[in-house]
Chains A and B, each alone.
Chain A
Amino acid sequence: MNLLQQVVNGVIIGHAYALVAVGWTMLLGAARLVNFGHGQMYMVGAFVAWWFMRLTGLPYPVAVVAAVLVGALIGAVMQRLLMRLTLSRDLVSLMIVTLGFGQMLEGAAGLTFGARPQTLTSPFQSMTLHFGAIWFTVQDVILVVATLVVFLALRLLLNATKFGVAVRMVAEDPVLTRLAGIDIARVYMGIFAFEGAAVAFAATLVAPRTPILTSMGFDQVVTTFVVVVLGGIGSVGGSYVAGLSLGLFTALFGALVSPAYTTAAVFALLIAVMALRPGQLAASANFAR
């Protein structure tokens, strides 16, 4: 067995986890909101890209842009529909309603795209790079670089732009933010649109690795939830580290112990973290770090 190859795989999967989770991290950190339809939005992002390529015949990068735009639109529509719940931060209702929203997306996707597994074809998936005993694809490189760019850009956005400061104001005290003349409903809409766009972007980069199914959303919700919780609920830097760690953990656990028990091990890890450091799991005011 090639341990180095497993580390490389872990780094790649880890970046995938982090990129898929970044939208939810922002949602949770800035808006203190949850979206249990996140995984289905991932699925829709992948299928929109696939469908777009099939209908138009345009190349993969154009499909990525199309999926991101549709994702942002879904996020914005979701915020409009959930306006009252988001403004009152009614978390229990939001959990149930977003779960239902995800089921609706899954049903609609099943009707539109069919139940058969499909393949989102990226030309970069078949380009492989070999370095001695290890190998990876150009798609993997794009995924890792894109994840780094998204996380760094998000940090810059939150700390150095006017909108970013408004997001941090809403994160700390939405009621007080109104007195700065800011329409907080619009800030929430921006956050939801980012969540939708980010998860669709992640889907288009990650999905070419495996066949896609309209029922694949739920697994993504679970993994994302683990990353967000491990990262210290709503911390941008934390969720990057958590995604990377989880990727390495699953790759090494799968290689060294047993691939069959990887998911169970991830949950054991989640429970252990929640039991050992519950105090640090509270969303912090410094989520932009």
Chain B
Amino acid sequence: MSARLEIENLRVAYGASQAVAVDRLVVEPGTLAAVVGANGAGKSTLVNAIANWSRAAPRVEGAVRMDGEDIAGRAAHEIVKRGLQLVPEGRGVFMGLTVEENLREGAPSDAGPGRRSYSIDDVYELFPRLRERRSTAGGSLSGGERQMLAVGRALRMAPKSLLLDEPSIGLAPRFVALLLRTIRSLVDDGLTVLLVEQNVRAAMEVTDVVHLLERGRLIASGPVDEMRDDPRIVEAYLGGGHG
């Protein structure tokens, strides 16, 4: 049912400077993996490269496999059609379109085996707040509503795997908790999710696996219960509170 996401020898460079060099990163089907790290560690560059999507057009090499099929190098919209969906950092919604118009574009209901399609109503079930705001322009939404809409837009494409880039950024704590809980429930329903987060503590609450990214390289990986006690994470991100 769920997709296995496998990244191998991924190298991303802007001009002469290499931003990301990840040898191997696997997200098992129906699990949630979090990539944590400091600002500028290359987290966004990593997920953007997996989706072959960027505003800066970096040079990307390496393999991205979903259920064994190499999708690296395909056009961004082709990757979306194959079921790998990115929710980009910041504004992932169209400001000039209403909530409902933002949700209009979606995968066909017979998107393919192993893909759960979401109707606009399904998205409203998941985020009732969006139903209330259905005729509001994306630009008039609060940060939390905007992020819900971004996730809703992504679900409309019937993804097998979801890449989330900093969904918690700029959100009030209660929105962060609500959003991450919803994402966890999607994972429990079978979605494969790779989450990039600066809010390490919040990510730890919901994730199965943690990867620590530093200067574009994965320096530690493991199940969340082991990583909680990893000194590199404790010192830098959890302030020793879990020691």
Residues of A participating in the B interface, judged by any CB pair closer than 8 Å: 162, 165-166, 168-169, 171-173, 175-176, 178-184, 285-286
What's the least CB distance linking B58 to chain A, in Å? 13
A178 to B55, CA, bound (A): 11
Structural contact, A165 and B104, CB atoms closer than 8 A: yes
Contacts of B105 in A (CB 8 A): 162, 165-166, 169, 180-182
Knowing that A176-B94, A179-B92, A182-B105 touch, tell me 16 more A-B residue pairs with CB under 8 angstroms: A162-B105, A165-B101, A165-B104, A169-B105, A175-B55, A176-B88, A178-B77, A179-B77, A179-B86, A180-B80, A180-B153, A181-B81, A181-B105, A181-B107, A181-B157, A184-B77
What's the least CB distance linking A196 to chain B, in Å? 24
B window 79-104: CB within 8 A of A: 80-81, 85-86, 88, 91-92, 94-97, 101, 104
B76 at the interface (CB under 8 A from A): yes
A171 to B95, CA, bound (A): 11
B75 at the interface (CB under 8 A from A): yes
Contacts of A184 in B (CB 8 A): 77
A41 to B101, CA, bound (A): 34
What's the least CB distance linking A50 to chain B, in Å? 41
Q: For this complex, into which size category does the number of interface residues on chain B fall?
A: 20 to 34
Max chain B C-beta neighbours (<10 A), residue from A162, A179, A182: A179
B53 at the interface (CB under 8 A from A): yes
Contacts of A286 in B (CB 8 A): 96
Residues of B participating in the A interface, judged by any CB pair closer than 8 Å: 51, 53, 55, 75-77, 80-81, 85-86, 88, 91-92, 94-97, 101, 104-105, 107, 153-154, 157
Contacts of B77 in A (CB 8 A): 178-184
- Interface of chain A, main secondary structure: helix
Structural contact, A179 and B88, CB atoms closer than 8 A: yes
What's the least CB distance linking A188 to chain B, in Å? 13
A183 to B74, CA, bound (A): 12
A98 to B28, CA, bound (A): 51
Chain A residue at minimum C-beta to C-beta distance from B101? A165
Structural contact, A178 and B76, CB atoms closer than 8 A: yes
Q: Could you list some 7 contacts between A and B, CB below 8 A?
A: A169-B94, A169-B97, A173-B94, A179-B77, A179-B154, A181-B157, A285-B95
A56 to B155, CA, bound (A): 54
Structural contact, A172 and B95, CB atoms closer than 8 A: yes
Chain A residue at minimum C-beta to C-beta distance from B85? A179
Contacts of B153 in A (CB 8 A): 180
Partner of A179, one of B53, B96, B97, B101: B53
**A-B pairs, 4 with minimum CB distance:** A285-B96, A181-B80, A178-B76, A180-B105
